[in-house]
Amino acid sequence: MAGARRAVWAYVRSAPGTYVWLGILFVTTVALHHMSPEFEQEFLRRRSTNIHELSRHPVRVLVTSAMWIDGGYWLPYAVLYSVFHAQAERWLGTLRWLVVCGAAHVLATLISEGALARAIGEGLAPASAADTLDVGVSYALAGVVAVLVYRIRTPWRYAYLAAVLLVYGYPLTTGPTFTDLGHFVSVLVGLACRPLVRRRARVRNPKETGAAGPG
């Protein structure tokens, strides 16, 4: 047990940004559980990257929206962060990992909300959609999932890429929402971050055992 605890602690220390962010999400999720449903929705809406809030407080909501989970289930994100974010941070380093997260989160938000604003202007979406709740960390996660394509050796890389494009692209073919568009844009942003990984460590072979270490 002592060895297992040391291994877990070493893994956490190797990706400090990931686990600090995850810790913040734990605290904010607990806070949401102590709010009434009505107050929670209004509270989150003020921290949401919807059109209304983006037009008034763009920087504030772009930051605060990434500190809350809409839905209140923290444990699945703990798993996803450990599998994807932690691996990306260990490989790229904290600064480059943050660049990928930030680029995916900001660009996907602005593009998807811009598309929604256009739909409202053309009468394809109701005006009330300008206040739609839009918080969470899924855009940054999608960008990191995509950039990890470059961490995997060929031919496994192409199978992983195909799976990523299928998971995030398929919803666009079946009644897409602005969130679906944002997720796919995040994937494209992650793939466009290849210049950040060119000088990093060797790519990983899925057949190798153990966690991939930093470059």
- Res 124: pLDDT: 86
Output phi, psi for 204, to 5 deg: -100, 140
Element (H, E) at 38: helix 37-45
Q: Model confidence over 79-125: pLDDT tens digits?
A: 999 999 999 999 999 999 999 999 999 999 999 999 999 999 998 88
Q: What is the domain class of 2-196 according to CATH?
A: mainly alpha
Give the percent of the chain with pLDDT over 90.
61
Map out the domains of the chain as residue ranges: 2-196
- Give the whole-angstrom CA distance, residue 63 versus residue 60: 5
Q: How far is CA 60 from CA 20, 42, 51, in A?
A: 19, 16, 13
198 contacts: CB under 8 Å, gap ≥ 6: none
Q: Model confidence over 135-193: pLDDT tens digits?
A: 889 999 999 999 999 999 989 999 999 999 999 999 999 888 999 999 999 999 999 99
Output phi, psi for 152, to 5 deg: -110, 140
Say if residues 136 and 92 touch (Cβ distance below 8 Å). Answer: no
| pLDDT at residue 212 is higher than 80 | no
pLDDT-derived band at 215 (thresholds 50, 70, 90) equals: very low
Q: Which two tokens stand for residue 112?
A: 């998807």
